Amino acid sequence: MTDVRKVGTWHATLRALAVLNILLWSVTCLPLGTGDTLLGWQVLLSGIYVVVCAFRSWLPRIDLERYCLVDSPLSSMFLGRAAATVAEVCFAAQIALFLNHVGTVAGIEWIVTVSYLVVPPLALAQLFCWYSVLSLNHLGHAIEESLWTATMAVVGVSLVAASSHLDGTLFAVAVAGAVFAAGFVAFMVTVDVPMYLQRWRESRQRGGRYLTLRDGLRDALFRRVATRDWRTWRPEVAWLTGYFSVAVWLSLALVHLSTP
């Protein structure tokens, strides 16, 4: 398979996932209803996350390097990052709501308290992400991912503590969630955070130029480099595909786990 065809096949896969995920949310989540209830909020938050991931699947980007797959004004790095910010805060809120539910059912007050502390560090992580995207400094991404790592570690510990007070489906989900959190933390500590730190060090060694936030905003708004070079996209394929599939399915699952 030629490199151009590899990129085309991958992009087609992302678009198919986008359509599938919107259909899954529309068919399995939307009928559950909306409103000012735990389930209603989960449906709404998941819907936002699903739509944004579909948008980003259709128009993939590599923010810091300003690469895009489709040469369109909609491929603006600023637009993509703004949408991702909203989606990731919604996803963080879904996790917090689920942890609150688990703590309430388990009757463990400190887990309920911890659930209120999930969104703030993940919202702060978005600010560091924006700093990286605007300044072209990878250190912000390393801090962003470290905040996600620490938060998910706390979530995992909370689920382990709650599991012995749960039974049935919620017990199984708490155990599975704890295992997932442990795997996430292990990956971030051994792969993701070190990768960004290495990129930051390499940039400093090369004498890399960082942008001011004002110049970076203009750059993120208007500069984009459209490319279908497989060498450019190959390092991004695994995590982007997982993000736009597994993470979305987890968001959908959090809706169903909140049903009465």
92-108 per-position pLDDT tens digit: 999 999 999 999 999 99
Give pTM, 2 decimals: 0.94
Tell me the per-residue pLDDT of 242-260, one tens digit each, with 9 for 90 and over.
999 999 999 999 999 988 7
For 226, phi then psi, to 5°, come to: -75, 130
Tokens of 46: 């998941």
pLDDT value at residue 33: 81
Tell me the per-residue pLDDT of 157-173, one tens digit each, with 9 for 90 and over.
999 999 999 999 999 99
The 10 Å Cβ neighbour count of residue 114 is 20
Q: Specify whether the CB–CB gap between 61 and 77 falls below 8 A.
A: yes
Burial class (CB within 10 angstroms; exposed 0-12, middle 13-18, buried 19+) of 164: exposed
For 196, phi then psi, to 5°, come to: -70, -35
Tokens of 55: 């948008």
Among 36-40, 132-136, 218-222, the range scoring the smallest mean pLDDT is 36-40
Confidence of residue 2 (pLDDT cuts 50, 70, 90): confident
End-to-end CA distance of the chain: 49
pLDDT value at residue 214: 96
pLDDT value at residue 122: 98
Residue 75 to residue 109: CA distance in whole angstroms:
45
Domain extents in the chain: 1-76+224-260, 107-223
Per-residue pLDDT, averaged over 27-52, amounts to: 92
pLDDT value at residue 154: 98
Confidence of residue 56 (pLDDT cuts 50, 70, 90): very high
Confidence of residue 35 (pLDDT cuts 50, 70, 90): confident
Mean pLDDT taken over the chain: 95
